[in-house]
Structure 1
Amino acid sequence: MKLSVLDQAPITKGNTAPDALKKAEELAILADELGYTRMWMAEHHGTNTFASSAPEVTAAHLAAKTKNLRIGTGGVMMMHYSPLKLAEVFKTLSAFSPGRIDFGVGRAPGGDNHSIYALSEGRQPMTHNMYDKFELAMQLINDEVPEDNLYNKTIATPAQVVLPEAWLLGSTGNSAIQAGRMGVGYSFAEFFMGGMTTEILEAYRKNFEPTVFMEKPEIKVTYMVTTAETSEEAEYEALPQDIWRLLFTKGRIGQVLSPEEAANFQLTEMDRMTIQQNRSIHIVGSAKEVATKLREEQAHYGFDEAMICSIPHSQEKRLEVYRLLARELF
């Protein structure tokens, strides 16, 4: 099975944002050594929970620190950038690391209303033209002259670079058909809200039209995973993330607790029921149990690649997750 990494640069309790970014570098180096396919950085704004606010900048650093690992964004949030700037950024990345860059884009804001308006300098954000923006960016990356009058009088430099892979993110299935028609990879965020169906993925495949960015349909599914040598240890390490998601649903956005703090956290019976329900999008267990679950998911849905997001409190335990999965699945 092809495995990849999604990193949000989580700032777990007791750590700092610089810590989180340095740990992203450590994770990228390990993933490269283990034979993972790619590593993407997410984009989050206005939070002390994640340090990944500029994924394209982090991607440049990670690409310079690795040799074979594909590096990209999962995703850069198009709402905040012009197609020309997107094209220039990813062409520059690809010029430095040809054949190893992924242009992964999302249509969400990656932050709250305060962040959205600050990023747009107080202007009303444009949310109606995301697919058009993506198409324009890809044309500019491919050294084409768009028909759009705003973009057909300039060029995106550097020119004549190796094209990055282009991917569209989705978490509801609404973008599956569009991703197919645009001839890009489709990345489904199962870890976000769940809801993946065979119908969503088949709609993407049926509508796929080959392009210079992607010759055949490629589906990648992102899972939240906590694993360890034993299921008991995995449960212990998973509870902080379960509590974080529980509090997030209540509008309380904080940092991931330590396992010791989580074990002593006061949970109501309703809280425990909610955590159990959320386990449908958080795979927890021993390495063998998790590997079996991922194989079953791939057999059922027919996706090409599993991307793993894992947020144990300690970096040691987080790196162990990726080591254990590589041992079981490569």
Structure 2
Amino acid sequence: MKLSILDQAPITKGNTAAGALIKAEELAVLGDELGYERMWMAEHHGTSAYASSAPEITAAHLAAKTKNIRIGTGGVMMMHYSPLKLAEVFKTLSAFAPGRIDFGMGRAPGGDQFSIYALSEGRPPMVHNMYEKFDTALQLINDEVPENELYNRTIATPSNIVLPESWLLGSSGNSAVEAGRRGAGYSFAQFFNGQLSKPILDAYKNNFEPSAFMEKPEITVSYMVTAADTKEEAEFEAKPQDIWRLQFMKGRSGQLLTPEEAQDFPLTEMDRIKIHEGRKLHLVGSAKEVAAQLQDEQIKYGFDEAMICSIPHSQQARLNVYKLLAKELF
């Protein structure tokens, strides 16, 4: 099974935002050494929980620090940016790291309403033309003249670069057919709401048309994972993430607790039920157990690659998740 990395540059309690970005670099270097397929940086705004607000900038740094692993965004939230700027950014990245850059786009805002309006300088955000914007960016990246009149009298430089792979993100299935029709890869965020289904992925495959960016359909599925040598260790490390999700659902997001603090966190019976139900969103167990679960999911749904997001409190525990899974699945 191909494995990849999704990183949000998490700022766990007692750590700093700058430190979270350095840890992203450490993770990229490890992933490169272990043979992971790609590493993507997410985009989050207006939060003290994550430091990944400018994934395209971090991607440039990570590409310079690695040799073989593909580097990209999972994703850049295109509602905030001009297609011309998107094209220029990713063409520049690809010029520096040809054959290793992924142009990963998402339709979500990546932040709350205050962040959305600040990014649009107070103007109502444009949310009605996402697929048109994606089309225009792809045309500009491919040195084509866009159909959109606003962009057909300029070019996106640098020209004549090795094309990045293009990917469209989704968490409900709405983007599956659209990704296929555009010859883009499809990345499903299973950790977001757990609604992955075979019909969603089949709809993508059945509508796929080869493009300059991708010759055949490619599917990644992103999972939140906490793995360790034993299930008991994994449960200990996973509890802060489980509590963070509970708090987020109640509108109380913040930094992740330490595992020790999480053990003493007061939970109601309903909280415990929700944590148990959330195991389809958060895979927890020994490395062997998690690896077997990922293999079962791949057989059931028919995807190509599992993308792992893992947020134990300590960097040592986090890196160990990726080492253990590589040992089991490579």
TM-score after normalising by structure 1: 1.00
1:279 counterpart residue number: 279
Counterpart for residue 111 of structure 2: 111
2:318 is paired with a residue of what secondary structure?
helix
Letter of the 1:214 counterpart: M
Deviations 1:89-111 (A, max 9, x none): 00000000000000000000000
Shift of 1:265: 0.6
The Cα shift of 1:290 comes to: 0.5
Equivalence for 2:90: 90
Q: Secondary structure at 2:223's aligned position in 1?
A: strand
Give the match's secondary structure for 2:195. Answer: coil
Deviation of 1:235 after TM superposition, in Å, equals 0.6
| CA-CA distance at 1:280 after TM superposition | 1.5
The one-letter amino acid paired with 1:81 is Y
1:270: Cα distance to partner? 1.1
Say which SS state the counterpart of residue 143 (structure 1) adopts. coil
In structure 2, give the amino acid aligned to 1:130. M
Tell me, in whole angstroms, the C-alpha distance in 1 between the residues paired with 2:167 and 2:234: 32
Amino acid corresponding to residue 96 of structure 1 in structure 2: F
Using the alignment, how far apart are the partners of 1:298 and 1:279 within structure 2? 17
Q: Cα distance, 1:299 vs. partner?
A: 0.6
- 1:296 partnered with 2:296: yes
Structure-2 residue corresponding to 1:253: 253
Distance 1:147 1:323 in 2: 46
Q: Distance in 1 between matches of 2:232 and 2:193?
A: 25
In structure 2, what is the equivalent of residue 207 of structure 1?
A: 207
AA aligned opposite 2:261 = E
Per-residue displacement from partner, 1:162-181 (whole Å, max 9, x unpaired)? Answer: 00000000000011111111
Secondary structure of 1:27's counterpart equals helix
In structure 1, how many angstroms separate the alpha carbons of the residues matched to 2:33 and 2:124? Answer: 45
Runs of 4+ aligned structure 1 residues displaced above 3 Å come to none
**Matched-pair contact (CA < 8 Å) for 2:136–2:147:** no
CA drift at 1:148? 1.5
2:254 maps to a residue whose letter is: G
Q: CA RMSD in A?
A: 0.4
Partners of 2:310 and 2:147 in 1: CA distance = 43
The 2-side partners of 1:155 and 1:284 are apart by 48
| Equivalent residues in 2 for 1:1-330, closer than 5 Å | 1-330=1-330
The one-letter code sitting in structure 2 at the alignment partner of 1:46 is G
Identity over aligned pairs, percent: 76
State the distance in 1 between where 2:266 and 2:112 align: 28
Alpha-carbon offset, residue 141 of structure 1 = 0.3
Once the two structures are TM-superposed, the CA of residue 210 in structure 1 deviates from its matched residue by 0.4
Task: Report how many aligned residue pairs link the two structures.
Answer: 330
Task: Provide Cα deviations, 1:242-301, integer angstroms capped at 9, x if missing partner.
Answer: 000010000000111110000011111111111111111110000100010000000111
Equivalent AA in structure 2 for residue 209 of structure 1? E
For 2:256 and 2:148, locate their aligned partners in 1 and report how far apart those are by CA, in whole Å: 45
SS of the counterpart of 1:45? coil
Aligned-partner residue type, residue 75 of structure 1 = G
Give the whole-Å Cα distance in 2 for the aligned partners of 1:155 and 1:134. 16
The code of the aligned residue for 1:178 comes to: E
Q: Distance in 2 between matches of 1:72 and 1:259?
A: 30
Q: In the alignment, residue 180 of structure 1 is paired with which amino acid? A: G
Gaps of 5+ in 2: none
The one-letter code matched in structure 2 to 1:85 is: K
2:3–2:306 contact (8 Å) kept in structure 1: yes
What code does the residue aligned with 1:254 have?
A: G
Instruction: Report the TM-score when normalising by structure 2.
Output: 1.00
**Cα distance between partner residues in 2 of 1:307 and 1:97:** 21
CA distance in 1, matches of 2:107, 2:92: 22
The C-alpha deviation readout for 1:192-242, integer Å capped at 9, x for no partner, is 111010000000000000000010000100000000000110010011100
Residue 234 of structure 2 aligns to a residue in which SS? Answer: helix
In 1, Cα distance between equivalents of 2:201 and 2:58? 30
